[in-house]
Amino acid sequence: MWLSARGSDNSFAGCQPLAVRSLELRLARRFGDLARFAGSERAALSDLRPQVGLRRALAARVRAYLELDEVAAGLDRVAGRLGDHERALAAHHQSFVEVSRSLEGLTKGLYRAQVHADVPERILGCEAWIAAEPPSDTLISVIMPTHNRKALLELAIASIQEQTHRAWELIVVDDGSIDGTWDLLASIEDARVVALGACACGPSAARNQALGAAKGEVVAYLDDDNRMFPWWLAAIAWAFERHPEHDVLYGARVCESKSDSLPELEFEPFSRELLARVNYMDTNALAHRRGIPGAEWDLEMRAAADWDLALRLTAERPPLGLPVRAALYATSSPDRIGAEPWAQLHYAEAQRRAAAGRPLCVLGVDAGSGRIADELAGFAERGVELAWLGPATGAETIYPGLEQALERHRPDVVLLDGLIATELYLPLLAGAGVPFGVYLSPADLELPMLRSLLEHEDCIGSWMAPAGDPQPSLYDGVRGALDDWRTSRPAGVQDPA
């Protein structure tokens, strides 16, 4: 409260201490309130410190997450680019596969052209020579089973009657036909045509029945849906007279194409190893002296019976490969045995019998690592014939080139060291129709061509020894895989009629 200024200055001076003290009290209270407020705020700030630290930690984590998102986005971009590269690599690999397949076909054609380059000239020369020879009186028995093919049978019989060689007999066994075949046979007035009846026991039984009735020095065969070239019997008589050291011979055939292309001439120089894999001695181009060991047909082999017969007839001595056209071979005839679903089992059985009678032949392709050489070293102890391509140490036979090795050794299977060597030699292997296996390294498992190579129709499998263990069962694995491959896909088999 302010006092009046009236009066003297002494009156104001007396009041001054009271006013000051009142102001001081009021200020003290105000400062006390401020102090208490500051204290409470300090306490509140103390309580907020952990929260501030937590917020700072959360902020740091958020910043880290944001950085990780940036890293993840960068990785996604890198993965996208890698995906583009992988797709491009897959496209390039597919192009390589297509080119490789084209090379397979080209290589196969070149391989066949090289092996058979002089066959047409030899055939023309041999046929011209035989045509100029004087006639022979060697009696030849031609055996022909038939079943419900009356129209085709008439053409087949006519091709025998048109032979330039006149000393023959034709034994036709009617294996239970119901289409008038027997009436046709009965109407033939040629005394050289002999008709026999059978009880529908199959072509092998019919041929054995005809063999028992044959009178000729030599036996030849013709299926009822094929036709014989006019000079074939003359060629057979000429060949056996001039080559008494041979009891078996085979000729060429002209095969009807299964596509729209022209017929093909087929003749293979004799190779026992090749015959164990491929039937190139067809019934219609086969002849043998009557009564020789093994000259009978296996009743269990309805399909591939001619292959089985050829393998048995050539087991001890090679036949004479006669470059003369023997028969026109049809592939479009109805009711062909070779088209039956079960026929493949008989082809596989013929191959199994052939393989059982001779040692396994393996060609090893060593890329320089020495791994496959070490693995195959024990094969020789199992009676395996080994040949080598590459720097294998201590190998029995080393060839400088795969083509030369395939031609000279005729292996049952080729084992290659790694996928790179496999990819390199695949066109040539496929052209020759030789099955192959791959001995893998751990690095091969990362290569993009692994799957396509292992899915190739001629690949029998792959092997890789465990670390520190030389895999003692590799021989059994290769042998079993080769048998499975033969069962699923017999190589180069020609279907019989």
At residue 15 the predicted structure's pLDDT band, cuts being 50, 70 and 90, is very low
Question: Residue 34: what pLDDT?
Answer: 67
Mean pLDDT value of segment 15-43: 66
CA dist 424 and 326 (Å) reads 40
Here the CATH number for the domain that contains residue 159 is 3.90.550.10
Range of the domain at 37: 32-115
Regarding whether 291 and 206 lie in a shared domain, the answer is yes
Residues 313 and 202 in one domain: yes
Least confident of 53-67, 148-162, 202-216, 374-388: 53-67
Both 140 and 111 in one domain: the answer is no
Please check whether residues 218 and 333 belong to one and the same domain: yes
In this structure, are 473 and 328 located in the same domain?
A: no
Is the distance from CB of 251 to CB of 288 less than 8 angstroms? no
204/109 same-domain check = no
Rounded CA separation 335/147 (Å): 10
Judge whether residue 345 has pLDDT over 80: no
CATH number at 386 reads 3.40.50.720
Retrieve residue 400's tokens: 């400088």
- The answer to whether position 16 is within a domain reads no
Confidence of residue 496 (pLDDT cuts 50, 70, 90): very low
3-state secondary structure of 492: coil
- Name the nearest CA neighbour of 477 among 378, 348, 405: 378
| DSSP secondary structure of 313-348 | HTSSS--EEEEEEEEEEPSS-SS-GGGSTTHHHHHH
Q: Return the C-alpha torsion angle 259, 261, 262, 267, nearest 10.
A: -70
At 494, the pLDDT band (50, 70, 90 cuts) reads very low
Across all residues in the chain, what is the average pLDDT?
79
> CB neighbours of 359 closer than 8 A, spacing ≥ 6?
383, 384, 385
Task: Give residues with Cβ within 8 angstroms of 478, minimum separation 6.
Answer: 362, 413, 415, 437, 460, 461, 463
**For the chain, percent of residues with pLDDT exceeding 90:** 34
Same domain membership, residue 475 and residue 366:
yes
Residue 163 maps to a domain = yes
Distances in Å between the Cα of 10 and the Cα atoms of 6, 7, 15 are 11, 8, 9
User: What is the structure's pLDDT at 79?
Assistant: 72
Residue 188 lies in a domain: yes
pLDDT digits (tens, 9 = 90+) for 171-225: 999 998 999 999 999 999 999 999 998 777 889 999 999 999 999 999 999 999 9
Question: Is-contact 436 422, C-beta < 8 A?
Answer: yes
**Residues 477, 407 share a domain:** yes
Tell me: pLDDT of 324 over 50: yes
Question: Do 68 and 200 fall into the same domain?
Answer: no
The mean pLDDT value for 355-376 works out to 72
Question: With helix as H, strand as E and coil as C, how does 88-125 read?
Answer: HHHHHHHHHHHHHHHHHHHHHHHHHHHHCCCHHHHHHH
Residue 310 has pLDDT above 90, yes or no: yes
User: pTM of the full predicted structure?
Assistant: 0.58
Instruction: Give me the pLDDT at residue 9, please.
Output: 44
- With 70 as the cut, is the pLDDT of residue 288 above it? yes
* Total tally of structural domains belonging to the chain: 3
Q: Please check whether residues 268 and 380 belong to one and the same domain.
A: no
| Residue 20 belongs to some domain of the structure | no
Q: By percentage, how much of the chain surpasses pLDDT 70? A: 72
Residues 95 and 190 in one domain: no
